[in-house]
Amino acid sequence: MTFKAPVELLPRPANLSRRGFVGSLSAGILGAVATEAAGAETLADVPDRGPGADLSAHSDRSRFARIDRIPEATPGKRNVDPGDAINSKTPHQKLVGNITPTDLHYERSHSGVPDIDPAQHRLLIHGMVRKPLVFSVDDLKRMPSITRVVFIECTGNGWENWKKADPDLTVQNTHGLVSTNEWTGVPLKFLIDLVSKDKGSNWMLAEGGDGAGVDRSIPLTDEIMNEAFVAYGQNGEPLRPAHGFPMRLVMPGFEGNLNIKWLRRLKFGNAPWMTRWETARYTQLLADGKARQFQLRMETNSVITQPSGMMQIQPGDNRISGLAWSGHGRIAKVEISTDGARTWKQAQLSQPVLSKAQVRFQMDWVWDGKPTKIVSRSTDDQGNVQPDRQSFIAAMGTNALFHYNAQQTWSIDEAGRVRNVLA
């Protein structure tokens, strides 16, 4: 009697040998986690147990699970020398669950990552306040704290697909500039009470301690006053330097650039400052040449991560999985189409579904082996529906560069190859 691994029971395209199939697994493009190159045909092939490595000061990932971000320069310039990179993207195709591992949270900086000694770092709060104050990191840690799971998304996320769809893109390339972590810190409201902000001050300038001194004007709406916080913790540990150590602003639901890292100054005033970032940079150029400004909130969005660009699937049982998020609130539902947006089925959401945090959605699917297109569409609890690409581009044009949230379509050919396409 011969013994076959379950995968052998499924029909496989003739051009895909077992060696090739396993090889693609080891390259990590199929499945959530890369597995070892030589498979175990029978249980007798599984290596014997024995004493393992010594315990260590911190736990590294398995050498069989290689998961890396991709440093990138301008759109389409990937795997560049880190010195030329302006961001580094989260490998969503290799992750599971709702939370992004800390070391894989996307990174975007405008003058590198400063090496800040927390003992020397200070936060100055001044402007239209009765009592301008200076805080140390220890001061913040003695204050009342909150902990909240929040996504942060670069306003440039999705920038690869504005004008065309490069078929060779992975979901890391198309959507790797959004991640979700648990952040811990002090409510902005508490700090505002300490300095006694003037009632007439409705805008706040937040400034970083990085080389670029990145600064943004933030409107103090009720929502922002209730939800913004100055974080010093990330997934149970101090912030990583790339994410703002020793303290950063967290603005749930608002564009990444507002979540000022390496925060060192908050100034209160009664009008926006019109910084470079809110005028020349993160504004959306419309087709008529006018630009939309203060588009601060991240939109309702979703993307299928499994299967996604550059993967290969087999006919038969498949699991579709992806991530959905909205800057407006909680994701209410995610629908999946496996026939190019003609018909839709509701996906399951992985609990907990939190406001302004990414949530994983999943659905079983039997692929009949015929070429098709798969796409997801999210709806949030405010009733916002993720737009299809056609209506999105009709409204925004193709020059906006920021806040791309059109539905993402992946095509699947007769060999099971998954590729990036425009709808």
Contacts to other proteins by CB under 8 A: 110-111, 124-126, 131-136, 139, 142-143, 194-196, 202-203, 205, 207, 211-213, 215, 219, 221, 264-265, 267, 269, 271-276, 279-280, 283, 285-297, 398-399
For other proteins, the closer CB: 135 or 262: 135
For other proteins, the closer CB: 135 or 392: 135
For other proteins, the closer CB: 62 or 221: 221
**Quick check: 321 and 94 in contact, CB under 8 A?**
no
Query: Cα–Cα distance between 248 and 40 in angstroms, integer?
Result: 47
63-69, Cβ contacts within 8 angstroms, sequence gap of 24 or more: 64/33, 64/34, 64/35, 64/36, 65/33, 65/34, 65/94, 66/28, 66/34, 67/28, 67/33, 67/34, 67/91, 67/94, 67/95, 67/101, 67/104, 69/104, 69/106, 69/107, 69/172, 69/176
Residue 229's contacts (CB-CB under 8 Å, 6 or more residues apart) are 146, 148, 183, 185, 186, 187, 188, 249, 250
For other proteins, the closer CB: 213 or 329: 213
For other proteins, the closer CB: 103 or 223: 223
Query: Cα–Cα distance between 364 and 378 in angstroms, integer?
Result: 17
State the nearest-atom distance from the C-beta of 151 to other proteins, in Å: 19
State the nearest-atom distance from the C-beta of 89 to other proteins, in Å: 21
State the nearest-atom distance from the C-beta of 410 to other proteins, in Å: 26
State the nearest-atom distance from the C-beta of 247 to other proteins, in Å: 13
SS3 226: helix
State the nearest-atom distance from the C-beta of 76 to other proteins, in Å: 15
State the nearest-atom distance from the C-beta of 85 to other proteins, in Å: 14
Q: What is the DSSP letter of 205?
A: E
State the nearest-atom distance from the C-beta of 154 to other proteins, in Å: 18
Of 321, 304, 324, the residue nearest 411 (C-alpha): 304
State the nearest-atom distance from the C-beta of 422 to other proteins, in Å: 16
For other proteins, the closer CB: 246 or 416: 246
Q: How far apart are the first and last CA of the chain?
A: 48
Burial bucket for residue 48 (CB in 10 Å: 0-12, 13-18, 19+): exposed
For other proteins, the closer CB: 266 or 324: 266
Buried b (16+ CB within 10 A) or exposed e, 28-40: bbbebebeeeeee
Helix (H) or strand (E) holding 141: helix 137-142
For other proteins, the closer CB: 135 or 151: 135
